[in-house]
Amino acid sequence: MTKLIVFTDLHMVPEGATIIGLDPYQRLLAGIEHVNRYHPDADRVIITGDLAHRADTLSYERLHGLLARVVPPVAITIGNHDYRDRFLETFTHVRPDENGFVQQSIDFSDCRVVLLDTLFAPPYDYPMSHAGYLCERRLAWLDRALAGADGRPVLLFMHHPPHKTGFTGMDAIRLGNEDAFYDLVLRHGNVRHIFAGHVHRTIGGSHRGIPFSIFKSPVHQQPMPFDMPNASLSVDEPGAYGIVVVTEEGLQVHNEDYEIARRDPEIA
């Protein structure tokens, strides 16, 4: 049974900087230590973008050193807060696809894992750079990745949700060409589950018949009211990561609020 750990929206900053008073380095470090302690047997730790808050080299270098502490192997893609070329300059071990996008397929005995690069940039101009997009080259790459799954169910990992989630501000900067994405995915019929980040909330459901899961950030979360048009608002809630387990019958998706999790029962 393939076991995957999922982190998203790391938002690393240079040393001494914070986000709403929170230190992304310390919060992610606590999550990494939790994974290393309780899930060193994971087949991959998958990270789905927004790696650095302002896509600066100092933050990427700081994150690179921190991720070197992760015991299981790491697979990574980028989000709207990232800068593709700058990321690749620091994470030199990451091999982009033939067109320079940060995406890859990983085969296990019971599934194919596909990571997609949904960054709609360059140009890095707000607001379009914060929305997601899969250009014709990336859709063609996905088409080949799904066709080559060799009978395995496919788990898709991406930063931007490919459909609305109910949050007004975040829905305005979701994947921009969701119809093209879903038409392609449904044509193949082998995608078992779609995983995303971007919204900084724990969300699950299905869209056009395909189950999806969205995970919280280890750092800061989206305010819960649905009708907020401002997508940049943040609240201090416990950090989390996802746990995905492929079973003989299907799939399990868990959310680990590691900052408040307790392993030992309290004795009254």
Region of poorest pLDDT, from 122-136, 233-247, 251-265: 251-265
CATH of domain 3-256: 3.60.21.10
Taking the C-alpha atoms of residue 242 and residue 240, their distance in angstroms, rounded to an integer, is: 7
What b-and-e string marks burial along 110-130, b requiring 16 or more CB atoms within 10 Å of the CB?
ebbbbbbbbbbbeeeeeeebb
Comparing CA positions, the residue from 161, 115, 108, 169 lying closest to residue 141 is 115
pTM of the model: 0.96
Residue 205's SS3 state is strand
pLDDT digits (tens, 9 = 90+) for 70-104: 999 999 999 999 999 999 999 999 999 999 999 99
With contact defined as beta carbons under 8 Å apart, do 15 and 52 qualify? no
Considering only CA atoms, give the Rg of the chain: 17
The residues spanned by each domain of the chain are 3-256
Residue 81's SS3 state is coil
Comparing CA positions, the residue from 14, 27, 51 lying closest to residue 220 is 27
pLDDT digits (tens, 9 = 90+) for 175-211: 999 999 999 999 999 999 999 999 999 999 999 999 9
